[in-house]
Amino acid sequence: MPIRENSLVHVLKWHGFRGMVRESFTGKRKTASRKNMNQGGFFMEKVMLGVSLYPEQETLEEIDAYLKMASSYGFKKVFTSMFSVPGTKEEVIAYFKDFTKIVHKYGMVVSGDCNSELFHRLGATETDLSVFKEIGIDILRMDFSFNDERDATLINNKEGIKIEMSTSFIDIIETAIKKGAKPENISTCHNFYPERYTAPSLETINDINNYWKAKNIPVAIFISSLVKGSHGPWPVSDGLPTIEEHRDMSIEIQLKHCLALDNVDEIIIGNAYASDDEFKAIDQVMKQVYVDIPKNESLGFLADFVPHGLTKRIPFKIHLDKGITALEKEILFNYPSHSDLGDCMNYMLRSRWTRMIYKGKEIPCRPCTKTHYTRGDVVIVNDNLAHYRGEIQIVLKEMKVDGQRNLLGHIDENEIFILEHIKAKDVFTFVE
């Protein structure tokens, strides 16, 4: 029996909204404490933010000042390269003790990139990580693994240090788990790519992320500061992204894109130092993304289906049409949780709840100079199609201007590509 389009509850049931509620209550992905469920049963996953530091190139005073700023913007993790620091065993230990003391002072965790050569230098083995515990390392990122039964021993280490491996180590991690490694002790992290055009394709990154998400193993990814002169472990200054297309994008667009992928647990700035303006931009995006939305009781029983409580949204920057009215702006910006139910994601993304909330309002037809709406245009259904009046739509494919919709504006051209990653039930919003 076909679904009656005007019965939203039928559409909701058909597209698994009740199933999503059940999935949340079963405790899916329950291993990470920062994953939360909002009041409506919509599963919300908040990313951890991180920065990178390369101690051999930075003073402890500079590190302290940088982490003080980063922590003030909600950053919780520090990635560092341990094997690139020269010196004797005693010198390396002494240096990183001072380093981790600063990190922990600001309530952050340390992920130390290491390899077998560093293990040898520090006298560590897969059965004895006490030197890393002494230093204050919270996470060991293995640049290379042992590639044998020692990996399982390492992951299950008695010191309680989390083991992070490259996202590409699929066979290695799977083998370790088969040999008894505890999955809850494992996380993964992508590489960054200092050399331009060397990063893997977005499709490859996305497939890998989805693989680990299905395994409930966290994934970290690198984005890049655009500050001139920012650096990584080597004298290369073309940024340190995981995704090649991010290399020249503003940091807030990189962040939005990673959040839209919805399969990333940690987002780390790969190069040092990001600017205060970049931290402010990230902070603004995060405040737009994670919001506490009150339950709209005016929707009656449908209120349970509408995202509320702590909710993740993708904020699209919009350039407004000059003719937009005050009411149209209100509907566009004040409704907090635009989302598509998933059954019509062909020519448009449809935010249908707005037509129910504003169904008593008049939205006169406004003339449009365009003959066709194009991808990224944002429109609202007007009085000429009164049953759907007030519905906000994002155009995905070219559509004729037929007088039934008013043009509200256009998504910023640098963010249109993010539309490719908006899925059914994803929540989005608009910002000027």
383, 365 contact by CB (below 8 A): yes
Q: Which of 73-82, 99-108, 138-147, 233-242 has the lowest mean pLDDT?
A: 233-242
Residue 8 is predicted with a pLDDT of 52
Residue 21 is predicted with a pLDDT of 31
What is the rounded average pLDDT of the residues 133-137? 97
Task: For 254-311, give the DSSP string.
Answer: HHHHHHHHT--SEEEE-SB---HHHHHHHHHHHHHHEEEEPP-GGGGGGGGTS--EEE
Task: Please state, as a whole number, how many other Cβ atoms lie within 10 Å of the Cβ of residue 9.
Answer: 12
> What are residue 256's phi and psi, to 5 degrees?
-55, -40
Distances (CA, A) of 75 to 70, 268, 319: 5, 9, 30
Residue 72 is predicted with a pLDDT of 98
Q: The whole model's pTM is what?
A: 0.89
pLDDT tens profile 39-75: 444 455 689 999 999 988 889 999 999 999 999 999 9
Q: Is the pLDDT of residue 272 over 60?
A: yes
d(CA 118, CA 116): 5
d(CA 40, CA 81): 42
Residue 354 is predicted with a pLDDT of 94
316, 352 contact by CB (below 8 A): no
187, 139 contact by CB (below 8 A): yes
What is the rounded average pLDDT of the residues 107-132? 94
d(CA 292, CA 148): 46
Residue 32 is predicted with a pLDDT of 37
What is the rounded average pLDDT of the residues 257-262? 96
What is the rounded average pLDDT of the residues 243-269? 97
Q: Is residue 398 very low, low, confident or very high in pLDDT (cuts 50, 70, 90)?
A: very high
Query: In the CATH scheme, what is the homologous superfamily, with its name and number, of domain 314-431?
Result: Cyclophilin-like (2.40.100.10)
What is the rounded average pLDDT of the residues 87-101? 94
What is the rounded average pLDDT of the residues 143-153? 92
Domain regions of the chain by residue span: 44-289, 314-431
426, 339 contact by CB (below 8 A): yes
Residue 44 is predicted with a pLDDT of 59
Query: In the CATH scheme, what is the homologous superfamily, with its name and number, of domain 44-289?
Result: Aldolase class I (3.20.20.70)
Residue 299 is predicted with a pLDDT of 83
Pick the more confident residue, 58 or 78: 78
Residue 305 is predicted with a pLDDT of 86
65: helix, coil or strand? helix
